[in-house]
Chain A
Amino acid sequence: MTGLRYVYAVCRPFDAALQAQLTGVSGDPPRLLPHGGLVAVVSHVPEAEFSEGALRDHLEDLDWLTATARAHQQVVDALTAVTTPLPLRLATVFRDDSGVRVMLQEREADFRRTLDRLEGRVEWGVKVYVEAEPAEQARPERSAASAQSAPKPVSGRDYLRQRRRQTRATEDLWSRAEEFATGLHARLSGRADDARLHAPQNPRLSGAAGRNVLNAAYLVARDASEEFVEMVDRTKDDAPGIRVELTGPWAAYSFAGEAEGDRS
């Protein structure tokens, strides 16, 4: 059984070795498939799992998807440590090596252009969360009744005063968060070569506390990354009730897509 070829990324040739124990999706170690002046990073995957029908079914399976996504990311991550990879979307699969070579040849100009643009750069993710529970704002009567910290209102006027205070505090927090996120994004964009805004993450999947109000990616040169990270770190204590989360360095996933638009 030779299996299918799963492609993780396209890079320029590099000398460094990948981590010895690195395994790709389905447990096969990734290998380099050079063609022309480019290298595809591939591993063998079983047809039983990655044929069209099987893949369609598997993608509906959150456990399978999670394991595959993590394995994909791990290989791309290992590449990021030694070179500037152009990460491909999950589940890019070919029948055999020659299919991969044909693809490298056909897209060579695109790949080179994008690799030049990304050379020596990585992606940093920055998210801003508001830590208050917005549900309180949505249901005034219930939240007032359930708020443990606030003393029980003794009169209607008391109740209203409390409510107004809460509303004002929540409103203040939101507008501060908006201002904070806008300012932070402007500052970080100024330090980055490029930036992308992504849709805010759903807390039910991310498991993160609070409400995600900014979800951005920044393309930053490797040697400017330390400074970028310090800049993000410095903002972390700036605003009570607002949390800043940094992830990275990632391969430049969010900035790898333009090759397609350029083609037309």
Chain B
Amino acid sequence: MTTPSRLPDPYGQGQSANLADILERVLDKGVVIAGDIKINLLDIELLTIKLRLVVASVDKAKEMGIDWWESDPALSSRARHDELTRENAALRERLRELDPGRVPREAP
């Protein structure tokens, strides 16, 4: 061990490091310094929408109008609730088709 204090062996880094993990750090984190060559990474068309999703912090993503996780059932309990309501209605409809006499017309 040559490190100043012991560190556990690396997890998920080196050549195998997930590109998304690296990009989200080197593009979106770290100290911003205006060098002589001035490039605003957010101005770059780069990264297409898909890539931007990965590198944008939540606030920046909202600035850019990206808020997919808020309507994504996996990530938002409100969206999940809506999803359940929708599915519930779909199931009721299906039940009515299969067993017309026994299903009340209105949802409780």
Residues of A with Cβ closer than 8 Å to B? Answer: 4, 7, 10, 16, 50-52, 55-56, 59-60, 62, 65-66, 69-70, 72-73, 77, 81-83, 86-95, 99, 103, 107, 114, 120, 122, 125, 130, 134, 137-138, 140-141, 155-157, 159-160, 163-164, 167, 171, 174, 178, 197-202, 204-208, 211, 213, 222-223, 225-226, 229, 245-250, 253-254, 256-257, 259-260
Is the CB–CB distance between B39 and A55 below 8 Å? Answer: yes
Q: How far, in Å, is B16 (CB) from chain A's closest CB?
A: 10
Chain A residues near B19: list those with CB within 8 A: 66, 69, 205-206
User: With A137-B83, A138-B83, A174-B80 in contact, is A55–B37 under 8 Å at CB?
Assistant: yes
Q: Which residues of B contact A157 (CB under 8 A)?
A: 98-99
CB distance from A18 to the nearest CB of B (A): 11
B30 in contact with A249 (CB, 8 Å): no
With known contacts A60-B45, A89-B26, A200-B69, A114–B31 Cβ distance under 8 A? yes
| CB-CB nearest in chain A for B26 | A90
B25 to chain A, nearest CB (A): 4
A10, A16, A223: which contacts B6 (Cβ < 8 A)?
A223
The reply to whether the CB of B107 lies closer than 8 angstroms to some CB of chain A is: no
In the bound complex, what is the Cα–Cα distance between A122 and B25 (angstroms)? 13
CB proximity of A156 to chain B, nearest CB, Å: 3
Instruction: Give B3's nearest chain A residue, CB to CB.
Output: A81
Residues of B within 8 A of A (CB): 2-8, 10-13, 17-27, 29-33, 35-39, 41, 44-47, 50-51, 53-54, 56-58, 61, 69, 73-75, 77, 80, 83-84, 87, 90-91, 94-95, 97-99
**Minimum distance in angstroms from B40 CB to a CB of chain A:** 10
13 additional contacts, CB 8 Å, given A56-B44, A120-B4? Answer: A60-B44, A66-B19, A89-B27, A89-B29, A91-B39, A92-B35, A94-B35, A125-B21, A207-B20, A222-B3, A248-B11, A253-B26, A254-B25
The reply to whether A256 and B33 form a contact with Cβ atoms under 8 Å apart is no
Q: What's the least CB distance linking B79 to chain A, in Å?
A: 11
Pick the contact of A205: B37, B54, B77, B94 (CB < 8 A): B54
